[in-house]
Each structure stands twice: as structure tokens, then as C-alpha cells.
Amino acid sequence: MTDTADSAARPTMKPWIEAIHAYVPGKSKGSDGRELVKLSANENPHGCSLLAQEALADIANPALYPDPDSTALREALGAAHGIDPSRIVCGAGSGELLHGAVQAYAGPGDEVVCARYSFSLYPLLAAKVGASIVYADDDDHAPSVDALLAAVTDKTRVVLLDNPNNPVGTWLDRDEVARLHDGLPRDVLLVIDHAYVEYLAPGLDDGGMELAAQHDNVLVTRTFSKAFGLAGERIGWATGAPEIIGALNRLRGAFNVTAAGQRAALAAVRDMAFVRKSCEENLAARDAFERQIAALGNHGLRAKPSEANFVLVLFEGALSADAALEALAEGGYAVRHLPSQGLPHALRITIGTREQMGEIAAILANACEAAA
């Protein structure tokens, strides 16, 4: 080209894409480059099922594409949950499916509603399709059904509910979730994100799967990244009405779940004893840690009651969240500071082993004394 204007021309990014701040994962290194115990990403400290490990080590021919429909995995999930496999879609983590849900039903000029403190991916999902994210007011940091319903307008196309909630860890029960659904217009899609649902105490159920089976405007997403311990393989799944599943199948990547991931997830579904053991260990370590934080209440520390594999600790006294973050890093631990989510006074701490959580509590106690 010789024309100056032509030579300066370049592809122009969509303005809503240019405005996106990329997702920032939890840190695993200190400022000095030291490897830290990573309790910033809600991974399973107990690893994954031995059956899943064996499946990962036994890939017959990696030169071949995987089953594009994850057929065996969908059948196993259907059998485990009493769902027609045709109402299940698998994805590269639940993130791909959450993205597909928003992409299918929202676009420029539309609104996507979520609680003020929700999974940090949610605003990115809306931004990617040119929609606006609308944050519903919180109830002492936790989601509120009344506030979510109040945030819905005639522009709302999708409501995203992570239940249990990330990063707060609280949980809406069956009656509250049903009340949320009942209050929504029928043309608004309710997405119930069950990333942490396995960590609920036995007998607790928010009724999301039933809503997805009975209604045309409910999608439930789940993941193998948390309790199943397969975060590195990126496997998620979702269930809902045939029309919603059809939309996700149109949008998901071709061959989106690797052969290794499919085999590992299939083995993991068959080893629920590992999941139950992981959740029992999480409950014991989490309860002990919450008691240790409660003992520091006179220093202004407060733990939000959690139903997940992490605890949100609020720093409302002399010790700031920034200073606590630094003290924990010096002690060898990486946790999640959340100023970008409007929580500069909080740390989200993944539940590790009982020993690790005891060490973290001791570090925080010492830091409280130093700050007093």
C-alpha cells in the first residue's frame, strides 16, 4: 500500500470487547517469586480420585479427536442424576457453558443480572456479548432474592445465580430459589451455577435440578473442577430444557472436552466415595477455621458462614486485608484478595488441609497482635 490512510488502517475491536478487563486467576507465587501454598483458586487440596488418575494415564491414541458429544460421560451423568442424557451438554469447564448461555440469550442493549458479590467471570460474560451487567444489592455481602428481583427490568435477559455463592460462600435454600424463579418473567433465563454444590451438607438441596427439569427457562451448570479435583482437565456440564441445550450445542467448541478429560470425568463419576471423603474433610477443616476466625473477632475479623470450600474473611479492625495478605504470603500461603470485586476489606481463603488452616489462623492471630 502507498496510501497513508490505508497503511495506518487496522482491524477495529468492538468497543465492548476493548472495555473488558481480562479474568485474573488466583496467585500462586509471592512478590519475590517464591512458590506459595495455593489457597487462592478453590482447588481440591486432596487431589482427585485414583480412578481418575488411572484414566488420565490410559489414553489409547492421543492423535485421534475425542468424542465430540461426550456421549459416555453424558450417559453416566444422566444415570447418576436421573436425567435424560439428551438434556445434558458437556463443556470445557462450566465457564464455556455459562458463556454460551449468556451469548445465546443476551446481546447489545440487553441486561444480565447477578448479585453484587458473585463469580468474577459473570461481568465478563455480559461484556463479551455487548450486554450490560446489573448488580443487585447484597444482604451483608450475600445474595438477596428480593434485590435480584428488584434489579430485573424489561431489558433483562439472563439472571446468574451462583449457589453456593462465590466469593461469599453463602447459600440460598430451596424456597428462596423457587421464589426467585417464580418472580422472574418467563422469557428471562435463570442460570443456577452449582460449581460448589457438592460441598453442601448432606440433605441440603436448592431444588435447582428440579427447576431445570420442569421449566423452559432454567439452566443448571456443574463442574468437575472443585470437589472432583479435576480443575486441570477443564470439564463442566449443564442441564436444562432441550431448547437451551440445543443453543449451547450450537455455541460450544467442536471437540471441546478432551479425550483425557472425558475419561477422567467418567471415572470420577464412578468414584463418589472420593468426593464424599473430600467434602467431609473440607467440612471439618472449614468449621475449625471458622471457629478460629471467630476467636479473633475482638480484632475485627469476621468469617462469613460458608457452604463451599472457602471462607470469606472480612477485616474490619486494625488489621487490614492488605496487611493480612502480606503476612500470609510471608508465611508461605497465597489467598485471594478481592478489591476488584468491591471487597478490598476481605480475603477469600480456600480450605486446605486441617494443618494448613491451623497455620493460617496462627499467622492471622500474630498479625492481629502486631497491628493492635
Q: Note the pLDDT tens digit of each residue in 257-303.
A: 999 999 999 999 999 999 999 999 999 999 999 999 999 999 999 99
Q: Contact, 151 vs 112, CB < 8 A?
A: no
Beta strands at 301-303 and 310-315: parallel, antiparallel or unpaired = antiparallel
Does domain 26-47+273-371 fall under CATH 2.60.40.420? My reply is no
Q: Which fold has domain 50-270?
A: Aspartate Aminotransferase; domain 2 (3.40.640)
Query: What per-residue confidence (pLDDT) applies to 188?
Result: 98
Distance CA(57)–CA(70), nearest Å, equals: 19
CATH 3.90.1150.10 placement within the chain:
26-47+273-371
How far is residue 268 from each of residues 55, 60, 80, 105, 355, measured CA to CA in Å?
Answer: 9, 19, 12, 32, 26
Which stretches of the chain score pLDDT less than 70? 1-7, 28, 60
Distance CA(130)–CA(153), nearest Å, equals: 17
Query: What per-residue confidence (pLDDT) applies to 18?
Result: 82
DSSP code at position 294: H
Q: What is the pLDDT of residues 33-77, one digit of tens each?
A: 778 899 999 999 999 999 999 998 887 678 889 999 999 999 999
Query: What per-residue confidence (pLDDT) applies to 242?
Result: 97
Query: What per-residue confidence (pLDDT) applies to 2?
Result: 52
Query: What per-residue confidence (pLDDT) applies to 213?
Result: 98
Strand partners, 311: 349
CATH 3.40.640.10 placement within the chain:
50-270
- Which DSSP helix (H) or strand (E) runs through 204? none
10 Å Cβ neighbour count for 138? 18
